[in-house]
């Protein structure tokens, strides 16, 4: 089972937005990789997240592809994944880190 890991800061994403994001991410993974992901939704407690040594507003979203991707294919998928978060959460692009890994060997 493939897992989508979402690391968010406490108080950053409402329950309603989280549900919408999960639905969007299921649709994304289903469309591009042919699987429905399990979620590892991790909330960083207040005072526990730092970016550039300052309190963090960053989210990290990581999921595996179903195949090895060339950059020409990976880059637009990373952008689409980031846009999902920007559009749903209202975060800026600089606050969203997206990772699409190759499948485990």
Partner 1 sequence: MPLYICNAKAGAVPENAKAKIAEDVTRIHCEVTDAPPTFVHVFHFADGPMPPLGDKQVMLYGQIRHGRTDDQKAEIVSQMQASVVEHTGLAPEAVHVFTTDTPASWVMEGGDILPEPGEEDEWLERHNAKNHAKAK
Interface with partner 1 (CB under 8 A)? 7, 42, 44-45, 47-53, 56, 58, 60, 71, 74-75, 78-79, 81-82, 93-94, 96-102
Identify which of residues 1 and 53 has a Cβ nearer to partner 1 in the complex: 53
Rounded Cα distance between 15 and 21, Å, is 10
Rounded Cα distance between 67 and 72, Å, is 14
Identify which of residues 15 and 53 has a Cβ nearer to partner 1 in the complex: 53
Nearest approach in angstroms of CB 40 to partner 1 is 8
Is residue 17 within 8 Å of 88, Cβ to Cβ? yes
Identify which of residues 16 and 56 has a Cβ nearer to partner 1 in the complex: 56
Is residue 5 within 8 Å of 61, Cβ to Cβ? yes
Rounded Cα distance between 14 and 33, Å, is 27
Nearest approach in angstroms of CB 80 to partner 1 is 10
Nearest approach in angstroms of CB 99 to partner 1 is 5
Q: Which helix (H) or strand (E) holds 20?
A: helix 15-33
Nearest approach in angstroms of CB 101 to partner 1 is 6
């Amino acid at each position: 089972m493939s897992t989508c890991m979402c690391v968010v800061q406490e108080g950053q994403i409402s329950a309603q937005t989280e549900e919408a994001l999960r639905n969007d991410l299921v649709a994304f993974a289903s469309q591009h990789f042919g699987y429905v992901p399990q979620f590892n939704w991790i909330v960083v407690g207040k005072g526990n997240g730092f970016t550039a040594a300052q309190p963090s507003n960053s989210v990290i979203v990581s999921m595996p592809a179903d195949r090895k991707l060339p950059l020409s294919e990976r880059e637009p998928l990373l952008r689409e994944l980031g846009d999902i978060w920007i559009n749903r959460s209202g975060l800026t692009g600089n606050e969203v880190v997206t990772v699409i890994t190759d499948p485990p060997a």
